[in-house]
């Protein structure tokens, strides 16, 4: 997964959407997925999140959900490992802004 860092404004917007739409935060275990359907407002939030992520993550496919790990927001997403396989990836929101340790 290749990532171009998000701006502080994009970081703040994603965080705002996560806090406003609590249904998008799901503490999945393994292959569990968030329950849908979403409301129209939640769908708009997902679309906005995906628009930001698509601009910064190579082969980004879709946003799955937020998780909270040790009081940090983590994003679960789908992206293309290669031309034939799409799989799951995780990144802390902070890492998308500041880079990976």
- What is the tens place of the pLDDT at every residue in 53-99? 999 999 999 999 999 999 999 999 999 988 888 888 999 999 999 99
For 24, the domain range is 8-98
40 in a structural domain: yes
3 in a structural domain: no
What's the pTM value of the predicted model, to 2 decimals? 0.90
68 in a structural domain: yes
Distance spanning both ends of the chain, measured CA to CA: 15
What integer pLDDT is reported at residue 11 of this predicted model?
Answer: 98
Cα–Cα distance for residue pair 99/20, rounded to 1 Å? 25
In angstroms, the Cα distances linking 58 to 16, 81, 86, 94 are 24, 10, 12, 18
44 in a structural domain: yes
- Number of folded domains that form the chain: 1
45 in a structural domain: yes
What integer pLDDT is reported at residue 28 of this predicted model?
Answer: 74
> Which residues, in sequence order, are CB contacts of 16 under 8 Å at separation 6+?
none
Chain position carrying tokens 């293309």: 80
48 in a structural domain: yes
What integer pLDDT is reported at residue 47 of this predicted model?
Answer: 97
85 in a structural domain: yes
What integer pLDDT is reported at residue 56 of this predicted model?
Answer: 97
1 in a structural domain: no
9-62 pLDDT, tens per residue?
999 999 999 999 999 998 877 777 777 778 999 999 999 999 999 999 999 999
Cα–Cα distance for residue pair 43/7, rounded to 1 Å? 23
């Amino acid at each position: 997964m290749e990532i171009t860092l998000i701006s502080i404004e994009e970081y703040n917007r994603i965080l705002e959407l996560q806090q406003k739409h609590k249904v998008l935060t799901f503490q999945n275990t393994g292959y569990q997925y968030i329950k849908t359907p979403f409301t129209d407002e939640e769908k708009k939030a997902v679309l906005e999140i995906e628009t930001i992520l698509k601009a910064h993550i190579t082969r980004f496919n879709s946003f799955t959900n937020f998780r909270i790990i040790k009081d940090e927001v983590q994003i679960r997403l789908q992206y293309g490992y290669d031309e034939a396989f799409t799989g799951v990836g995780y990144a802390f929101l902070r890492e998308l802004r500041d880079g990976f340790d």
